[in-house]
Amino acid sequence: MDIMETIKDQIESNRVILYMKGSPNQPQCGFSARTVQALMSCGEKFAYVDVLSNPEIRANLPTYGNWPTFPQLWVDGELIGGCDIVCDMGASGELKDVVVGEGGSEA
């Protein structure tokens, strides 16, 4: 499968997916750590891809999403943004609304 098809499949197969450096339990950069923290505070499960161990995805995702940096949060097939956007949305409560979505659990 072509790498762009792989990325498209990952994004379509996971309602919430985070492309990050490292893993949620062991982020490998401060931006990924802050993004994971904001995302985990929403209380919903999410998929992730470690771009450090997936160099083809790391090289091609910026082209796919037209977003140059990592982490990248995708929800319902749409790019939400990187660390600053996700953290700002987390602080305002907007992130939880987006991540929980229509069929999510109520807090």
57-71 tens-digit pLDDT: 999 999 999 999 999
Burial class (CB in 10 A: 0-12, 13-18, 19+), 20: buried
Q: Which stretches in the chain have pLDDT values below 50?
A: 104-107
As its CATH architecture, domain 3-96 has 3-Layer(aba) Sandwich (3.40)
Delimit the domains of the chain by residue range: 3-96
State the Cα–Cα distance between residues 30 and 8, nearest whole angstrom: 26
24-36 tens-digit pLDDT: 999 999 999 999 9
With 0.85 as the threshold, say if the pTM is over it.
yes
